[in-house]
Amino acid sequence: MARRKKIYEGKAKTLYEGPEPGTIVQYFKDDATAFNAEKKDVIEGKGVLNNLLSEYFMLGLGQVGVPTHFIKRLNMREQLVRSCEIVPLEVIVRNYAAGTMSKRLGIEEGTQLPRPIVEYCYKDDSLGDPLVTEEHIAAFGWASQQDMEDILSLALRVNDFLSGIMFGVGIKLVDFKIEIGRVYDGDFQRLVVADEISPDSCRLWDMETNQKLDKDVFRRDLGNLTDAYTEVARRLGVMPKNQTPVTKPTLIN
Q: Can you give the binding site for ligand TYD, defined by CB under 6 A? A: 90, 92, 98-101, 121, 129, 175-177, 201-203
> Min. distance of Cβ 227 from ligand TYD in angstroms?
19
Query: What angle is formed at CA 202 by the lines to CA 196 and CA 207, rounded to 5 degrees?
Result: 140
> Min. distance of Cβ 127 from ligand TYD in angstroms?
11
> Min. distance of Cβ 195 from ligand TYD in angstroms?
9
Q: Where are the beta strands (DSSP E) in 55-166?
A: 70-73, 78-82, 85-86, 89-96, 112-122, 131-132
The residue (of 62 and 99) whose beta carbon lies closer to ligand TYD is 99
Residue 225 belongs to what H/E stretch? helix 225-236
How many whole angstroms separate alpha carbon 32 and alpha carbon 51?
Answer: 14
The residue (of 52 and 173) whose beta carbon lies closer to ligand TYD is 173
The residue (of 176 and 229) whose beta carbon lies closer to ligand TYD is 176
How many whole angstroms separate alpha carbon 12 and alpha carbon 32?
Answer: 6
The residue (of 90 and 147) whose beta carbon lies closer to ligand TYD is 90
> Min. distance of Cβ 200 from ligand TYD in angstroms?
6
Residue 176: name the closest of 98, 250, 105 by CA. Answer: 98
Residue 12: name the closest of 59, 56, 46 by CA. Answer: 46
> Min. distance of Cβ 176 from ligand TYD in angstroms?
5
User: Which residue number has the CB closest to ligand TYD?
Assistant: 99
The residue (of 62 and 88) whose beta carbon lies closer to ligand TYD is 88
Buried b (16+ CB within 10 A) or exposed e, 37-59: eeeeeebebbbbbbbbbbbbbbe
